[in-house]
Amino acid sequence: MQLSKFAVLLPLLAGSIEAGKMRAPRSWAADRFDMQLTWNQFGFLSQQKIGNPPQEIPVFIDWTWISQFILSPKCYGEENDPAACLNVQQLYYDPAKSTSHRDASKRFPSRTWLPNHFFFWEPLTVDYAQDAVQIGPVTSNSIMQFSDTNFDLSAFPYPFTGVLGLSPVFKGDNASFQSSFYQQWKAGQWKNPTISFVYCYEESMKPTCGGSDGLQSFGGVMDQVVKDSEIYWYANYVFPDVNTLAFEYSPALYNYWATPLDSLWIGDELQPTEPTSNSSGKASIFDHASYGRGIPLTPNAYDKLVNLTAGQPLTLEDPTIINNGNQSMYSVDCGNVASFPTVSYKFAGHDKVWTNTPKHYVETLPDGRCALNVRAMATGDKFIGNFGETFFKDKVAIMNFETLQVGIAEIQW
């Protein structure tokens, strides 16, 4: 999406006249499918079949990526030379083995982002092609991104071969921006335009997720886990500062599920919050991968929480075992966690307050120590936050591709 297409902070409820109309699903359209997830340091992973005959690949589920990214054996422009840039143990998808693979470069030219949040200061280059993609009971020929790696990516094998992007699709966005699920829904293959997420973060919860760490549902919501059948819906907004403070891409990307923060509390004390700029407001970005770990706070509110919990500076060889933010880390007394304050949020549009208890934001490290799991971006009282797996403990996350709304519900285990 190009930002110039929208007034800043304009709610994107309708998207277009056509999107505002309820689509009549075909009689054979699919009902909800619950994709089982495995937690990984990168985010949540699953399995997916691509191509014909299908090649099963591990995929990373990403609410903040456009289209669907597939790691191919193309290195430095050579179509089938994986040894030139990939780790020898890296799993990749081979388009040459798929009879359904069709080049789409005449419609959608190759694209490069530098910097990016896949490889940071190495170029992320993709070619566009159409190929078979399966999500649960639905298989379609969809436009997807296929990598052309132009740097040495052989240091280690990534635990996934694809990125199943689930970013919102805005007015004017062509198929190169659209997730495979969105393309399937637009083609009438799903009855419902929503996706939803449940995080089974404790062993006792895993039966709800079929024994897995979480569920990413396509085409609906697990009604049985929505407490009192009540979902709170929030309008989706565009925040320009997201591309400098939360995720940095060039050319810039703004296709995020996001809504304005209204209020932030630590315990019963309202914390001051300010927009990150006059043009951007107080952005709440929904992202359940590694950049969504940690409850989001302003730097000043983080200092407040550290003082209230008697936090001590913590130096770790790998701080990403907590989260991958740039803020300082603090250890706390594991025996005092029950006495720590709650952290609560209210988003614009409803008076509903969403609370995270201390057990949500205190992380137990492999060595048995406890640490605050907080992500603090911007400066002072300025707020921009990524709301992901930490925030969504004991909550259901829902996104509606037709109305462009984010839904949140309390969970009923």
Give me the residue spans of the domains in the chain. Answer: 32-217, 226-410
Residues 168-190: what's their mean pLDDT?
98
Residue 351's contacts (CB-CB under 8 Å, 6 or more residues apart) are none
- The answer to whether the 32-217 and 226-410 domains have the same CATH topology is yes
Average pLDDT value for the chain: 94
Domain 226-410, classified CATH 2.60.40.420, yes or no: no
Torsion of CA 286, 292, 295, 296, to 10 degrees: -60
In tens, the pLDDT along 98-111 reads 999 999 999 999 99
Q: Copy the structure tokens of residue 224.
A: 């049985």
Backbone torsion region of residue 27, taken as left when φ is above 0, otherwise alpha when ψ lies between -120 and 50, otherwise beta: alpha
Helices (H), 213-357: 242-245, 299-308
127, 241, 287, 394: the catalytic one is: 287
34, 62, 127, 241: the catalytic one is: 62
At the top level of CATH, which class does the domain 32-217 belong to? mainly beta
Cα radius of gyration (the chain): 21
State yes or no: is 62 an active-site residue.
yes
Closest CA to 145 of 26, 29, 59: 59
Q: With contact defined as beta carbons under 8 Å apart, do 201 and 389 qualify? A: yes
In tens, the pLDDT along 260-315 reads 999 999 999 999 999 999 999 999 999 988 899 999 999 999 999 999 999 999 99
Torsion of CA 203, 209, 394, 178, to 10 degrees: 140
Residues 315-322: what's their mean pLDDT?
93
Q: With contact defined as beta carbons under 8 Å apart, do 151 and 85 qualify? A: yes
Strands 395-400 and 405-410 turn out to be antiparallel
In tens, the pLDDT along 110-153 reads 999 999 999 999 999 999 999 999 999 999 999 999 999 999 99
Element (H, E) at 260: strand 258-266
